[in-house]
Amino acid sequence: MTYQELFQQISTKKSYLCVGLDTDIQKIPAHLLKTDDPIFEFNKQIIDATADYCVSYKPNIAFYEALGPKGWESLQKTVEYIPESHFTIADAKRGDIGNTSGLYARAFFDKSSSGMDFNSITVAPYMGSDSVTPFLAFEGKWVILLALTSNPGSADFQRLDAEGSALFETVLRTSQTWAGAERMMYVVGATHPADFEKIRAIVPDHFLLVPGVGAQGGNLEEVSKYGMNKSCGLLVNASRSIIYAGNSTDFAEKAKQEARALQQEMAVYLDKYCN
């Protein structure tokens, strides 16, 4: 999916919502445990309920890896089920020496190799350019680089002084020499609203993947006001607040209501701040 195609989806749906499929076998409704593939059945119903209100889905790979081969099968079936109109993110946070990163890229981008064909993957930048560029070797695929994450521990390293600026700012500046806004996004947590203006001054055109709205308490209007650009430039992720909005047989309907409420709020901010 290209930059323009993603913006077109956002404009058409009046939504920049990404639904995080952080599907925990210990949290899904009990009645699903009787099905052949409880994880996939849960995801399938969530996707059916929310597809009209979001533009992206983001499975967190750890929730599937933890289940071994069955988890990978559920993940593959989930990715295949997501409509092609939706931007898919493998939230894997990979990054290693070049040949290893190349294999990680094959795992998530090369359907003939692994069976999976995500549009993008989250990547940790700590090991530098040669750990990131192998992902960019796959034409049309996106890298979403961790910049300023939403967790409290992000301050341990990401805000350290690096020759006069915070380390996350150095990541933003340096990584722009590896790929432009058509191939690279950045993770910026909604729990850091005061930093969005500074970040936009460094990366004015890039998309930002923004976790932390919902269960983590990030403010959607602040993120939208200070983080949006003329192409929207935001994918705001909500996971637990949507997929676990209900825990009974009506869980999908509850998820739908939560996703619709976020989409309706986003429509207001698109009109107000996307210019």
Q: What positions carry a catalytic annotation?
A: 93
Phi and psi at residue 222, in whole multiples of 5°? -65, -45
Vertex 109 angle, CA 138 and 227, to 5°: 80
The DSSP call for residue 159 is T
Structure token digits, residue 76 = 């593959």
Q: Give residue for tokens 């898919």.
A: 88
Vertex 79 angle, CA 108 and 183, to 5°: 50
For 175, residues 6+ apart whose C-beta sits below 8 A from its C-beta are 125, 129, 132, 145, 184, 186
Q: Give residue for tokens 């750990």.
A: 131
